[in-house]
Amino acid sequence: MPPLNLGNQQPRTPLNADQAWRTTASRAAGTVLFFDFDGTLAPVDDDPTAVRPAPKALAAIEALAPIVQRVAIVSARPVEFLRDQLGGLDGVDLYGLYGLEHSHSGGETVTEPAALPWVPTMAELADLARAELPPGTLVEYKRLSVALHWRTAPRLGPTVQQWGQAQADRLGLRVQAGRMVLELKPPVDRDKGMVIGEAIKGATGAWYFGDDVSDIKAFAALRARAAADPDFLGVCVAVANPETGHEVANAADLTIESPAALGDFLTQALTHLP
């Protein structure tokens, strides 16, 4: 495999991908593998409900799960959606809605208590968005967040973003920008960086695979742990995308071309692990 594509960042140690996996092999029992879902495990689709994970990536994760300490999916999607898409993979932890929901190894879904009072607000916001935003805007209601997509009508981007920011200011919500999408969330302190920071306590290494700007916080959590612990191996992997990919790649150690290529990458990694 080629050397790490570093963008404007420098890795903690000058490893190429094969060297990183070989180093991981010696500490596999203490390593956590984290994956974003949309754009990372699954290609982005105009219809968010039609997204399906790349089969080869899913098969590789199933093979990796018993080798490493943990495999976790960390996504903006609800846990229920992730569970359906992953087909009941054993030993995989699910963090949905940026960590507002989680389920460990197939267990029950637990919701962050501070977010629950915001469910009615989000339902009302979704109805308002459908009524006020122009045709071509796709409104995705997720119970604890509302995502406003303009992928099929790029010209609507400025209008949707302005409307979304105004509603966030009015209701006291937080905004998460993404690939031709603006997501409005409760003002609760949960994001991908916080999830990863908590989940790697006690781990000897971790890889994070992501494609969008929300994943940069996860990269930062790995960097912070590596800076505090020289024995910790943290590897940040970007999956390329045409919208926000440059910013994400610049924050990563390695860039992979697509979810399909990620499947090949993980399958190759299995040759280095015990």
Beta strands in the chain (DSSP E): 31-35, 70-74, 92-96, 101-103, 110-111, 138-141, 146-149, 174-178, 181-185, 205-210, 233-239, 254-256
Q: Is 36 a catalytic residue?
A: yes
Helices 192-199/216-228 angle, 10° precision? 30
* Helix, coil or strand: residue 91: coil
Find the Cα–Cα–Cα–Cα dihedral 24, 26, 27, 28, rounded to 10°. 70
Cross-strand pairs, 95: 74, 102
| Nearest CA among 267, 240, 217, 271 for reference residue 74 | 217
d(C-alpha 53, C-alpha 262), whole Å? 11
Q: Among 18, 36, 47, 211, which one carries the catalytic annotation?
A: 36
Q: How far apart are CA 81 and CA 86, in angstroms?
A: 9
- Which residues form the catalytic set? 36
